Each structure stands twice: as C-alpha cells, then as structure tokens.
Amino acid sequence: MTVPPGYVPLDASTVLGFAAPYLDAEPVEAAEIGDGNLNLVFRVQSASSSVIVKQALPYLRVAGEGWPLTLDRTCLEADAMRLHAQHAPGLAPQVLHVDETAAAVVLEDLHQHVVWRTAMRGGEDVAGVANALGRYCARTMIGTSSLVMPALERRQLALRFENPELSAISEDLVFTAPYIEASSNRYDEAAADLAAELRADARMRALAAQLRWEFRARQEALIHGDLHTGSVMVRDADLRVIDVEFATWGPMGYDTGNVIAHLGLARIARYAGGQGDPEAVDRDARAFWTSLCDEVGRVWPSGEPWRENFLAALLVDTARYAATEMVRRIVGLAHVADIDQLPDGARLQAQRAAVQAARSLQALPAAGTFDDVWARCARKET
Ligand code: SR1
Ligand code: MG
C-alpha cells in the first residue's frame, strides 16, 4: 500500500527526538517493547521521566507486509482513549500527544504497572482490579450509549470510530475463521480433533454467524473491542485499560464477554496446573459482574424500571460472546499465554476444557444467573 507523505516508521534512534518534548529532560534511551500483533511500541526515557510512543505500521505487524492496513488506527485509538477517560476518569492512560502524519501517539508510561494477565499467570491476585474493570465497563458502555447520552451528541459521535479495517479483522478472526479451514487458524496437532469438532458443530457455527451479524448491527456503545486481561495494566488496585485500537460501535456484551472469557481461560489454566489459586479467579469474575451491575445503577439511575431486564439480556450476550472468544483463543490465530505456556499434557487438558466451556455457554438457558454463566465458563472436567 502507499503510505501518506511524511510517514516514516520510527526506530530506537529517531523516536528519541519525537518523544523529547514530552519528557522533563533530554531523552537518553529508547527501546522497542511492543509484543502486540499490530503496532510499534517504544519506551523512551530521560534521566527522570519516561513516555510510551505507539506507532501504527502500514501493515499488520504479526502478519507482515502481505496484510496491509491503513495508518489511522493510532489516532482513532487516542480519540477513543480520551472519550473513555471522560466517562471513566482515572481508568485510561493519559494521551500526551497525537501526530497524524507519523500515525503515532505519545502516552503516559505505566512502568510501575504490570499487565493483569502476566500477574495472574504468575499466581498473583490483585485485589480491587476486577471491581475497577466492572466500573470501567459500566461507565464506558452506558456513558457512550443513547441510554444516557443526549441524542444529538450521540449521533454526532456515531460519525467517528467507524474503524472498518480492525472491525473486519475481529469479524474474521472471532466469528468466521475458527469454524472453517482458514489459513489463519493455528492449533497444536494434538488439538486438531477439537478444531474439526468445532467446524462440524452446527450450534456453535450458528451462534458465531448470529453474533457476527449482531456485532455489525447492534451499535449500542463505543466498545473497547479487545478487552482481555492483556489489555489491563494494574498496580495494586490501580487499573488502566490500554490498547483501544479495536474500539468501535458495537454490542456491549462483546466487551463483557471478552472479560469473562479471559477470566475463564485463566481459571481453566490454573486448574490445569498453571500457577495460582483457581478459586481466586472465581472471586474476580463475581466481583467484576457485581461491580458492573452496581455501577450501571449509578450511571443510569433513570433506567430503574427496566434495568433488571437490561442486565439480564446483557448477561446472556456476555455468555454468548464469551463462548466465541474462548473458541478463537484455542483454534484461531491469536492465543493466550495462560494456556499456550502450559506444559504439553496440561495444555491439551486446558484446551479441551475451554472448548467444552464454550459449548456449554452456547447452551445457556435465557434465564441464567451469573453463577450459572460462570460455572459453565470455568469448567473443571475435560
Ligand atoms: C491480527 S490481530 C490478532 C488479535 O490481536 C489483537 O489483540 C486482537 O485480539 C486481534 O484479534
Ligand atoms: Mg489488543
């Protein structure tokens, strides 16, 4: 693809000058620290301060130049991060600068925070984080929806955040590829039977097709679009939600389903032999849902007459989107370290449990409680 005039990918040397205005002294060091699938991420340091520079590449980093992408995703991400920060103050990183030509943003460096998934994989349980994430979801989802936002403002906002390319990636990787013989799929040879079973599972295929349509059609809120435990930085109970580049108008249950799916995968991994107490994840999942419901009541007080119905429907959506997210993290392109890093036998046990959990979530009766959902998600037997 042709890149816009003036765009040049940064490197560990050129990023020093780019970041200098946002540091409190001369930059002395920069390193590319990105381990994500899409962008370049640098940490740039002076003697006494540091910032993060995130720059889009004109292609999907994990796939290479054969998968071209336009460059506007970092600006859209900064825009979404600022909007989410307005609704959920203190729960998103500070955006210090946006440079459209360089397709790069300068962000607050959360160097004292760790990725929640990394903490959990190390057996560490961080009190208060699940509560804060429930509040983030409630505030960003309800706050950017027409449940509370004045109609004119909401319609004007709808013109932003279309995000067609990254939304198409999600539609493909989450709802399509895992149910066909797609070249992007990746799984262990030992799990090939799981992948084949999924391709032959009419009910899971129907669920995925329906959810793909709902993902496109139900533009309920400005969702994060990739809200897993790797998108959450924690330091004690202080939480910041990062990596908002998949933000788009979509169904609220996509975000909450992602959170529950990744807690389910963490629980399954611990149960299969990973570090940490599986029951601590049970407590996190319950704390997340309780906090979300409580916060919905605070940010949408006028919804009282039908709020319970709304939350019951959101729970069903959460279970359904959790099912498709769990499946794609086992047989699709992008996996999770919680399970991939387990030793061979334990990994296969966890992979089977995750796919069974997804099937069980798909079959959830309409009037299920959160405990019903979680019991299906965090399956123990294989
Ligand atoms: C090709 S991008 C693969 C995945 O990485 C991102 O974090 C999203 O989860 C996306 O689906
Ligand atoms: Mg991401």
pTM assigned to the model: 0.97
Which atom of ligand 1 is nearest the CA belonging to 230?
7
- How many CB atoms within 10 Å of residue 302? 8
The Cα 1–Cα 82 span in angstroms is: 29
> Which residue CA neighbors atom 5 of ligand 1 most closely?
37
222, 157 Cβ separation under 8 angstroms: yes
- Cβ(229) – ligand 1 distance below 6 Å: no
- Two tokens, residue 164: 């067609």
Atom of ligand 1 nearest to the CA of 226: 9
Residue from 38, 77, 115, 166 whose mutation best tests the ligand 1 pocket (most atoms within 8 A of CB): 38
**Contacts with 103 (C-beta within 8 Å, 6 or more apart), sequence order:** 7, 55, 56, 71, 72, 73, 74, 75
Long-range pairs of 28-34 with CB within 8 A, sequence gap ≥ 24: 34/61
226 Cβ closer than 6 Å to some ligand 1 atom? yes
Pocket test for ligand 1, best of 65, 173, 242 (most atoms within 8 A of CB): 173
Q: How far apart are CA 146 and CA 124, in angstroms?
A: 38
Question: With a 6 A CB cut-off, is 170 part of the ligand 1 pocket?
Answer: yes
- C-alpha distances (whole Å) from 260 to each of 80, 183, 364, 375 are 22, 27, 15, 11
Q: Is the CB of 69 inside a 6 Å radius of any atom of ligand 1?
A: no
Q: Ligand 1 atom closest to Cα of 63?
A: 1
C-alpha closest to that of 351 among 372, 333, 332, 327:
327
Distance, CA of 225 to CA of 170 (rounded, Å): 8
Say how many C-beta atoms besides its own lie within 10 A of residue 347's C-beta: 20
Classified as helix, coil or strand, 240 is strand
Distance 62 CA to ligand 1 centre (A): 9
Locate all alpha helices (DSSP H) within the chain, ordered by sequence.
Answer: 14-19, 73-87, 116-121, 129-143, 151-158, 164-170, 192-199, 202-217, 252-271, 278-299, 307-331, 337-340, 344-362, 370-377
Report whether residue 37 contacts ligand 1, using a CB cutoff of 6 Å: yes
Atom of ligand 1 nearest to the CA of 228: 9
The answer to whether 326 touches 353, Cβ cutoff 8 Å, is no
Q: What is the pLDDT of residue 127?
A: 93
Ligand nearest to the CA of 231: 2
Q: 3-state SS string over 10-50?
A: CCCCHHHHHHHHHCCCCCCEEEECCCCCCEEEEEEECCCCE
Compute the radius of gyration of the chain from its Cα atoms: 20
Closest atom of ligand 1 to 173 CA is: 11
Note the pLDDT of residue 334.
Answer: 95
Q: What is the distance in A from the centroid of ligand 1 to the CA of 37? A: 6
Per-residue pLDDT of the chain (382 residues; tens, 9 = 90+): 678 899 999 999 999 999 999 999 999 999 999 888 899 999 999 999 999 999 999 999 988 899 999 999 999 999 999 999 999 999 999 999 999 999 999 999 999 999 999 999 999 999 999 999 999 999 999 999 999 999 999 999 988 898 999 999 999 999 999 999 999 999 999 999 999 999 999 999 999 999 999 999 999 999 999 999 999 999 998 999 999 999 999 999 999 999 999 999 999 999 999 999 999 999 999 999 999 999 999 999 999 999 999 999 999 999 999 999 999 999 999 999 999 999 999 999 999 999 999 999 999 988 789 999 999 998 765 5
What's the rounded Cα separation, in Å, for the pair 377 and 329?
A: 14
170 CA closest ligand 1 atom index: 11
Query: What's the CA angle centered on 213, arms 321 and 201, to 5 degrees?
Result: 60
For 258-307, how does the pLDDT look when each residue is reduced to its tens digit (9 = 90+)?
Answer: 999 999 999 999 999 999 999 999 999 999 999 999 999 999 999 999 99
Q: Whose CA is nearest to atom 8 of ligand 1?
A: 226
